[in-house]
Amino acid sequence: MTWVNAVIQGLLLGGQYALIACGLSLTFGVMRIVNLAHGDLAVCGAYLGLVLSSALGVPVWVTLPLLLPAAFGAGVILQTLLFGRALRHGMLAPVLVTFGLSVMIENLLQVAATSDPRGLNGGALALASFRLGSHITVSWLFMTAFLTACAVLSGLQLLLSRTSWGRKVRATADDLDTARLVGIRVRPLFATVAGIAVATAALAGVFIGTIGTFDPLEGANTLIFAFEAVVIGGLGSLWGTLAGGMALGVTQVVVGQVNEAYAVLAAHLLFLAVLAVRPGGLFAGQHAAREAREAPGVLG
Amino acid sequence: MTEGAANALEVTGVAKSYGSLTVLSSVSLVIGPGEAVGIVGPNGAGKTTLLDLLTGTGRCDAGQVRLNGQDVTRLPPPLRARLGLGRTFQVPRPLGDLTVFENALVGAMRAAGLRGRNAYEAAYEALSLAGMAGRANVRAGSLRLLDRKRLELARALATRPQVLLLDEIAGGLSDPETEELIGTIRAVNTSGTTIVWVEHVLRVLTAVATRLVCLADGRVIADGDPAEVLASDEVRAAFLGGGVL
Amino acid sequence: MNPAGPEPLLQVTGLDVFYGDFQALFGVSVSVSAGRVTALVGANGAGKTTLLRTIAGAQGAASGSVRYAGADLTAAPPHQRISRGIVLVPEGRRLFPSLTVEENIQVGAAAAASADWPLDRIYGVFPMIAKRRGQRASTLSGGEQQAVAIARALAAAPSLLLLDEISLGLAPRIVAELYQTLAELRSAGATLVIVEQDLRRAMEASDDLVCLLEGRVALAAPVSAVTRDEVVAAYFGQRSPGAAT
């Protein structure tokens, strides 16, 4: 029955991927920025968690009320000072800027924290598990990660679809020019979205750091899976990102049962397959038509 | 016009639809060598589509296009250029890092297939005609709007066209600049090039064109003396909507 | 237009607007008095959309000023102008495709000047879209989409409503309905500026008329003081007695 166990583990792993991916999806969907530093920001979250939990002598969960607002603030600052400015220079500039930011972060972390792998203090939660039936053991940590991902995604979905702010975000994602025209203040909106994205990344980083180990270069790996989860699920669909994450997770764990060496490769092959067959993603959302809008009638 | 001389451009019953939208229902036009003809019409009349069909950028659903007597209906744009059809584009986009001369040379070599000395001569002649010879070594990206339009003109002229299609070239210029442009285009026409000019800025057409064709709802509704065409009730109704106040 | 009257609600003076170095407006001055409807006419490329966008703050001016209700708004961003009461219904409707009809309207209130136009009042003006309130905006017909675009503007409780070509691509019957709605707003004392291709409709629906030609004001007068011929002459750039240039 190890297959069933593998599938379950894979699905739960998918939750972690979705958590790291949703910030990426949000940033691209709303601001059309591909944040190549997203994975590194998650790793920063893990390091911040390490610092705080060591300083306070508590499991990392207790530090979240400090950590998440700090991450949100970092996102706001990055957007206002860096990404927002980059956007004014065309669509390629943010890619270059975030790439540079990624390199910078990785090197700063190496200098500050050395390349030794670290782990986060997950307290009792990290060790607990429960049994499903007689053959399946599920770690509470994995379960919590998955449920957190679902909670965050639901929260974001509700925020976007039920609040007035969420309406403005969706309008801006649809048509930036017209959004400004109807009086939406786009800069503060982008700043808030960036803050949320970095906060979710930091939260994902904390789980990554608790479940496994992390080092300054972990960001790159994380980014790839986040990116793949977004693309498989389809841009513009938050729940699609969860589905994408789960697809990756299941592939990785199930193949890993057969041959550990091919586990990660299999996940990447799945990504390629989806790109080849359904480039829009499995759940291409409302933003499926993402043609660049040219301003109409400028010579009217 | 001697008997037997082919018409510069002959358009017979061309039609074009995009899906269920009929843009041109049936357009016929005969333009003799050396003429300067303006094409006007309200938004959505099909002027740009007509230009696309003439150059070969779009394919006719029906009808024929003849250039100097030869049927070019099925020919792609590069071949039509070789046969003597030139075109300017609405938004001049010169190759910014090249000099003015090099831009004209690109036209002569790529579109007209000229090489070596012939290409240089064609490029230089084109620049002279367009009034840009004095700035031949200037970097194209640094030109002001009027000069970019002239360079656009020169590039088209460097292909040694017999028929030159102008696509809304007069917009955005100040009064003196517009006068300069009118002078340039008159000179081009006087040197023997047939001009077909699609334009919104009506007063430049009345200054250069000897004939005005008005398109509306996908067909020709007037063709003749510019002043008469603009004064005709049908043309005015096409632009401004029907009915008398 | 109202020389001896109180200061006009909107006073635009000497606007120069460029797209790169393409000049779209040359020293344009326009005044709009409160409670009156102004028609803005002119050929394509004359600058009508550019003028409306500049008034709404979506386009910057290189020089000149925009004064509204006594305040200088020349440098103000769109959300500030909306909260003062200037709202634009853009050309081509520009609804948010992934939002429902109701959400599109609600988003229009993002910077609203006041709460004078709640949803009920708006649906009262446009009963035809009320029953589609939960549908995605992209699924509606052209006429319904135009109604939603105007409704979205009303949600901002405008004191000056700018409408750019609301009849584009719509059947005459639908256009008549939309203009009926505008007539209701007009009799309720609203101040409107309407860009319209159909001159008869424009003159019927308005108190004042401004005609643009190649980025300049060719005619500005009350509708009662000009004949259709004078407007047509200004539209085509021909001299006519009694027309201001």
Cβ–Cβ contact A175 with C under 8 A: yes
Which of A11, A8, A28, A12 minimizes the C-alpha distance to A238? A28
What integer pLDDT is reported at residue A195 of this predicted model?
Answer: 97
Per-residue model confidence as pLDDT tens digits over A227-274: 999 989 887 788 889 999 999 999 999 998 888 889 999 999 999 999
What integer pLDDT is reported at residue C162 of this predicted model?
Answer: 97
What integer pLDDT is reported at residue A206 of this predicted model?
Answer: 95
What is the rounded average pLDDT of the residues B74-93?
Answer: 88
- The rounded distance, in Å, linking the Cα atoms of C126 and C108 is 15
CB B186 within 8 A of CB B194: no
- The rounded distance, in Å, linking the Cα atoms of C226 and C220 is 9
In order, the DSSP letters of chain B are --TTPPPSEEEEEEEEEETTEEEEEEEEEEE-TT-EEEEE--TTSSHHHHHHHHHTSS--SEEEEEETTEE-TT--HHHHHHTTEEE--SS----TTSBHHHHHHHIIIIIS---HHHHHHHHHHHHHHTT-GGGTTSBGGG--HHHHHHHHHHHHHTT--SEEEEES-STT--HHHHHHHHHHHHHHHHTT-EEEEE-S-HHHHHHH-SEEEEEETTEEEEEE-HHHHHH-HHHHHHHH-S---
Task: Report the complex ipTM.
Answer: 0.89
pLDDT band at B242 (very low <50, low <70, confident <90, very high): low
In order, the DSSP letters of A185-226 are -HHHHHHHHHHHHHHHHHHHHHHHHHHS-B-TTHHHHHHHHH
pLDDT band at A284 (very low <50, low <70, confident <90, very high): low
pLDDT band at A295 (very low <50, low <70, confident <90, very high): very low
Q: List residues of chain C with CB under 8 Å from any CB of chain B.
A: 19-24, 26, 41, 43-46, 197-201, 203, 214-215, 227-228, 232, 235-238
CB B166 within 8 A of CB B196: yes
Which of B47, B28, B81 minimizes the C-alpha distance to B168? B47
C23 and B144 in contact by Cβ < 8 A? no
- The rounded distance, in Å, linking the Cα atoms of B148 and A248 is 53
Name chain C contacts of A184, Cβ cutoff 8 Å: 79, 107, 110-111
Per-residue model confidence as pLDDT tens digits over C174-185: 999 999 999 988
What integer pLDDT is reported at residue A294 of this predicted model?
Answer: 28
- The rounded distance, in Å, linking the Cα atoms of C121 and B223 is 51
Q: How far is CA B141 from the centre of its chain?
A: 23
Q: Please provide residue C64's backbone torsions phi and psi, each rounded to the nearest 5 degrees.
A: 105, 175
* Angle at CA of residue B34, ends B29 and B35, nearest 5°: 45
Residue with tokens 């906060």: A199
Contacts by C226-235, CB closer than 8 A, 24 or more apart: C227/B245, C228/B244, C228/B245, C228/C199, C228/C200, C228/C203, C231/C41, C231/C199, C231/C203, C232/B236, C232/B240, C232/C199, C235/B239, C235/B240, C235/C41, C235/C42, C235/C43, C235/C199, C235/C211
How many Cβ atoms are within 10 Å of B62's Cβ, its own excluded? 14
Mutate one of A182, A187, A189, A294 to test the C interface: name it (highest C CB count within 10 A). Answer: A182
Cβ contacts below 8 Å, chain A against chain C, sum to 99
- Residue A164, classed as helix, strand or coil, is helix
Closest-CA distance, C23 to chain A, in angstroms, reads 10
Half-sphere exposure of A51 (CA within 13 A, CB side): 11
Which of A17, A25, A6 minimizes the C-alpha distance to A245? A17
Bridge partners of C216?
Answer: C213
pLDDT band at B5 (very low <50, low <70, confident <90, very high): low
Binding partners of B (≥3 Cβ pairs within 8 A): C
Which string of b and e fits C43-78 if b means at least 16 CB within 10 Å?
bbbbbbbbbbbbbbbbbebeebebbbbeeebbebbb
- DSSP letter at C72? E
- The rounded distance, in Å, linking the Cα atoms of B179 and B174 is 9
Tell me the pLDDT of chain C averaged across its residues: 90
Per-residue model confidence as pLDDT tens digits over A156-196: 999 999 999 999 999 999 999 999 999 999 999 999 999 99
- Residue C45, classed as helix, strand or coil, is coil
Which regions in chain C score pLDDT beneath 70? 1-6, 239-245
* Angle at CA of residue A293, ends A291 and A294, nearest 5°: 135
CB under 8 Å to A122, separation ≥6 — which residues? A59, A60, A61, A141, A210
Mutate one of A161, A172, A181 to test the C interface: name it (highest C CB count within 10 A). Answer: A181
Per-residue model confidence as pLDDT tens digits over C124-153: 999 989 999 999 998 999 899 999 999 999
- In this structure, what token pair is assigned to residue B79? 């071949």
What integer pLDDT is reported at residue A297 of this predicted model?
Answer: 23
Residue A291 has pLDDT above 50, yes or no: no
Percent above pLDDT 70 for chain A = 94
Name the closest residue on chain C to residue A174, using Cα atoms. Answer: C96
A185 and C79 in contact by Cβ < 8 A? yes
Name the closest residue on chain B to residue C205, using Cα atoms. Answer: B245
Alpha helices in C57-193 (DSSP H): 78-84, 101-107, 119-125, 127-130, 142-154, 172-187
What is the rounded average pLDDT of the residues B115-120?
Answer: 88
Residue with tokens 């001896």: C4
- The rounded distance, in Å, linking the Cα atoms of B72 and B16 is 16
- In this structure, what token pair is assigned to residue A250? 């299941």
Which of B51, B29, B14, B49 minimizes the C-alpha distance to B197? B51
Residue A146 has pLDDT above 90, yes or no: yes
B172 and C197 in contact by Cβ < 8 A? no
B201 and C232 in contact by Cβ < 8 A? no
- The rounded distance, in Å, linking the Cα atoms of A176 and B45 is 31
Per-residue model confidence as pLDDT tens digits over B17-66: 988 888 999 999 999 999 999 999 987 788 989 999 999 998 999 999 99
Cβ–Cβ contact A183 with C under 8 A: yes
Instruction: Report C:213-232 residues touching A (Cβ under 8 A).
Output: none
C98 and A170 in contact by Cβ < 8 A? yes
Do strands B211-216 and B36-40 pair parallel, antiparallel, or not at all (unpaired)? Answer: parallel
Name chain B contacts of C215, Cβ cutoff 8 Å: 172
Closest-CA distance, C104 to chain A, in angstroms, reads 8
Name chain B contacts of C45, Cβ cutoff 8 Å: 168, 171, 200-201
Mutate one of B39, B151, B203, B239 to test the C interface: name it (highest C CB count within 10 A). Answer: B239
Per-residue model confidence as pLDDT tens digits over A27-52: 988 988 989 999 999 999 999 999 99
What integer pLDDT is reported at residue C239 of this predicted model?
Answer: 58
- The rounded distance, in Å, linking the Cα atoms of A14 and A207 is 13
In order, the DSSP letters of C119-139 are HHHHHHH-HHHHTTTTSBGGG
- The rounded distance, in Å, linking the Cα atoms of A60 and A68 is 12
Cβ contacts below 8 Å, chain B against chain C, sum to 60
